[in-house]
Structure 1
């Protein structure tokens, strides 16, 4: 017989068992940060090839927006207020990885002083640079390039964009 909420201890044990068998999703959270000239901030990670948007992976039970602000603080010494959600991308399993949900948030435009002082603050990044959007598209891998394009489109349209494995969801 299934427990009921009338027996809180048995009910919580029952719910915990269900929770333990449900799928877990990896969550990535990046940010679109711009400078006054319209450049896009990219970072060059030391642990994988190619350039990326700033951000990273969420820790267990960490919200996507908390993950990206934590990563910005750790890796770039930035403390910013996010201005909204731009992109959600469901990424299919690939290689050794299970599926993932990736978010891109709007970090707004940094002032000239912040932009000039941009540099990596830990060993996970070798470089950080503001580059023109067209140059950013050249430097980013395909999946990140799709998210950048969707993030810029989201800013233009004033609503978040949902991607399915980097492409249009419908």
Structure 2
């Protein structure tokens, strides 16, 4: 073996063991993925989860090794019976640890505008949702927790500007 070669070339098995050790010791992040969806009247879709007191954006928590855009697709199908491929990423929000929760990376995607047929076919499917409703931006801000409302505002801004937003607890990084 040539000692001048980097470890990954000199001893690939040792390199994999080194990476596995690092992977086992590094912290894991919780990941959520939501979507901004509008009806033909340009109102925003909100959902009322059965397991929390506030309304929310459609979406949910990622499963192990699931890409965030696939999380949105799975959650929409499971919860509302909607088959939708999300569009561009609008924002990523790092949420600090709070209460019993570790920190979280929350992704928000553009889901576009639903057709009247898609809206008519929506229905809560798996018991996680009590209701859903299309709301004006003002109605959405009254129903959402403050940091989710800030995240929504940033996502809508990203839709208008075409620039992905990076947030910390719902605030743009420059304002944190």
TM class, shorter-chain normalised?
over 0.9
Q: Structure 1 residues 4, 87: closer, same or farther in 2, change over 3 A? A: closer
Structure 2 residue 154 is the aligned partner of structure 1 residue 156: no
Using structure 2 for the length normalisation, give the TM-score. 0.92
Deviation at 1:17, TM superposition (A): 0.4
Could you say which structure has the larger radius of gyration?
A: 2
String of CA shifts for 1:41-78, please: whole Å, max 9, x gaps.
01100111110000000011111111111111111111
Confirm or deny that 1:64 pairs with 2:68: yes
How far 1:83 moved relative to its partner? 1.5
Regions of 4+ moved over 3 Å? 2-5
Alpha-carbon separation, structure 2, partners of 1:56 and 1:5:
41
Once residues 87 and 15 of structure 2 are traced to their aligned partners in structure 1, the CA distance between those partners, rounded to angstroms, is 40
* Residues 81-108 of structure 1 deviation map (CA, whole Å, 9 limit, x = unaligned): 2120111101111111111110100000
Please provide the CA RMSD for this pair: 1.3
What residue number does 1:103 align with? 107
| 1:42 match | 46
Q: Aligned pairs, how many? A: 169
Tell me the TM-score normalized by structure 1: 0.95
Shift of the alpha carbon at 1:4? Answer: 4.2
- Shift of residue 3, structure 1, vs aligned partner: 5.3
Contact 1:86 1:159 in 2 (8 A): yes
Please say if 1:78 is aligned against 2:82. Answer: yes
Whether 2:34 is the aligned partner of 1:30: answer yes
Take 2:120 and 2:127, find their aligned partners in 1: how far apart are those partners? 20
* Displacement after TM superposition at 1:133 (Å): 1.4
Q: 1:94 to 1:10 in 2, by over 3 A?
A: same
Q: Given the alignment of the two structures, is residue 131 of structure 1 paired with residue 138 of structure 2, yes or no?
A: no
Structure 2 gaps of 5+ residues are 1-5
Cross-structure match for 1:146: 150
